[in-house]
């Protein structure tokens, strides 16, 4: 199988021709519009094509990757968190995906449960589940939290907030099936050979990749310490921002992103899944503008727009989830 980073260079030239041939990127299609190219990020909620953020994307000729490996539509599952680059149709509910990448948040052994209700810990990451979490019924019996025990190796897809990861999908793995890994922001790096991802302390020997520093989003593959669930030795460190470059929106493109609000300072300045959002002119569904705050789960839809020298998701709709 080819790694996605190997495919990036191959895709770069065709992508340029694709975008150049599209003409204007168009305006937001939710609720009507001209359609156009753009990015959608969120959990997969249905098939018959692939449904993300209430848009059904045709994936017949889509380049699909799952956890950096080439895949096909049949490899996709409900609850996987996917990034899609493609074209939105004017009807606001359909589109055509050119690229689709689904990636887990963490894969490793369960080290404990609670004390919070409906939660467990994997590689130092607190995992929360609720009625919307999809438990894989081929590997977890019964397909809910009671079907898991300490020591089970699980793959978790989900959305991050301040205190942990809200799982959208949980699947149990057999030992040796897939590499142990965790994704998150680097913290407590002092130039030595250790850093943190949440409560997990990671040690490494090879030099980290160029651009590695505190606040950078990384994927770490490695070996967990059997005597301490909060220790891990890295075998590979990758910068996710570099790998995801093909999913960076261009000015004027549509953006739909699902996630938790962070860095909230005002209605015109907050982040959703790493995207800076200005919702000062947005319409709100399922809540009010005054309900916006850190760790509130929303879907933001709008156009990637240059405002005062910064590219911002100028939201036309905020939906509380």
Do 155 and 100 touch, CB atoms closer than 8 A? no
pLDDT tens digits, 248-295 = 999 999 999 999 999 999 999 999 999 999 999 999 999 999 999 999
pTM: 0.88
- Residue 141 scores a pLDDT above 80: yes
Reported confidence tier of residue 72, pLDDT bands at 50, 70, 90 = very high
HEC profile of the chain: CCEHHHHHHHHHHHHHHHHHHCCCCCCCCCCCCCCEEEEEEEEEEEECCEEECCEEEECCCCEEEECCEEECHHHCCCCCEEEEEEEECCCCCEEEEEEEEECCCEEEEEEEECCCCCEEEECCEEEECCCCCEECCCCCCCCCHHHCCCCCEEEEEEEEECCEEEEEEEEEECCCCCCCEEEEECECCCCCCEEEECCEEEECCCCCCCCCCCCCEEEEEEEEECCEEEEEEEEEEEEHHHHCHHHCCCCCCEEEEEEEEEEEEECCEEEECCEEEECCCCEEECCCHHHCCCCCEEEEEEEEEEECCEEEEEEEEEEEC
All domains in the chain, ordered by first residue: 4-102 (2.40.50), 106-241 (2.40.50), 250-320 (2.40.50.140)
pLDDT tens digits, 9-68 = 333 333 333 333 333 333 343 333 456 999 999 999 999 999 999 999 999 999 999 999
Q: What are the distances in angstroms from CA 204 to CA 3, 7, 196, 226?
A: 22, 27, 11, 17
Mean pLDDT of 93-108: 97
Do 314 and 305 touch, CB atoms closer than 8 A? yes
What per-residue confidence (pLDDT) applies to 159?
Answer: 97
Of 27-31, 145-149, 172-176, which gets the smallest average pLDDT?
A: 27-31
Do 168 and 133 touch, CB atoms closer than 8 A? yes
Mean pLDDT of 90-104: 96
What per-residue confidence (pLDDT) applies to 176?
Answer: 75
Do 195 and 222 touch, CB atoms closer than 8 A? no
pLDDT tens digits, 113-138 = 998 789 999 999 999 999 999 999 99
97: closest CA among 22, 45, 40?
Answer: 40
What per-residue confidence (pLDDT) applies to 11?
Answer: 35
Do 265 and 277 touch, CB atoms closer than 8 A? no
Q: Which residues contact 167 (CB under 8 A, 6 or more apart)?
A: 79, 105, 127, 128, 129, 133, 156, 157, 158
Q: How far is residue 239's CA from residue 249's CA, in Å, rounded to a whole number? A: 18
């Amino acid at each position: 199988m080819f790694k996605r980073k190997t495919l990036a260079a191959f895709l770069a030239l065709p992508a340029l021709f694709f975008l150049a041939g599209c003409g204007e990127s168009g305006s937001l299609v939710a609720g009507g519009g001209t359609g156009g190219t753009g990015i959608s990020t969120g959990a997969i909620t249905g098939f018959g094509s692939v449904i993300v953020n209430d848009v059904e994307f045709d994936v017949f000729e889509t380049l699909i990757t799952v956890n950096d490996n080439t895949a096909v539509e049949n490899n996709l599952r409900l609850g996987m968190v996917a990034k899609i680059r493609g074209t939105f149709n004017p009807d606001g509910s359909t589109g055509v995906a050119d690229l689709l990448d689904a990636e887990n948040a963490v894969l490793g052994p369960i080290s404990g449960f609670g004390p919070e209700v409906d939660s467990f810990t994997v590689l130092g990451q607190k995992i929360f589940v609720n009625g919307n979490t999809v438990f894989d019924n081929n590997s977890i019996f019964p397909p809910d939290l009671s079907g898991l025990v300490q020591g089970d190796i699980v793959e978790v897809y989900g959305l991050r907030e301040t205190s942990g990861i809200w799982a959208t999908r949980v699947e149990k793995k057999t030992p040796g099936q897939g590499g142990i890994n965790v994704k998150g922001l680097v913290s407590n790096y002092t130039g030595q050979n250790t850093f943190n991802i949440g409560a997990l302390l990671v040690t490494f020997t090879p030099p980290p990749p160029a651009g590695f520093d505190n606040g950078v989003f990384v994927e770490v593959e490695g070996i967990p310490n059997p005597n301490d669930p909060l220790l891990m030795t890295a075998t590979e460190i990758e910068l996710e921002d570099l790998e995801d470059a093909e999913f960076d929106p261009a000015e004027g493109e549509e953006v739909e992103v699902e996630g938790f609000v962070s860095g909230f300072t005002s209605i015109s300045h907050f982040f959703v899944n790493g995207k800076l959002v200005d919702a000062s002119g947005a319409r709100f569904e399922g809540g009010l503008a005054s309900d916006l705050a850190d760790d509130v789960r929303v879907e933001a839809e709008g156009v990637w727009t240059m405002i005062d020298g910064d590219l911002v998701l100028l939201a036309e709709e905020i939906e509380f989830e």
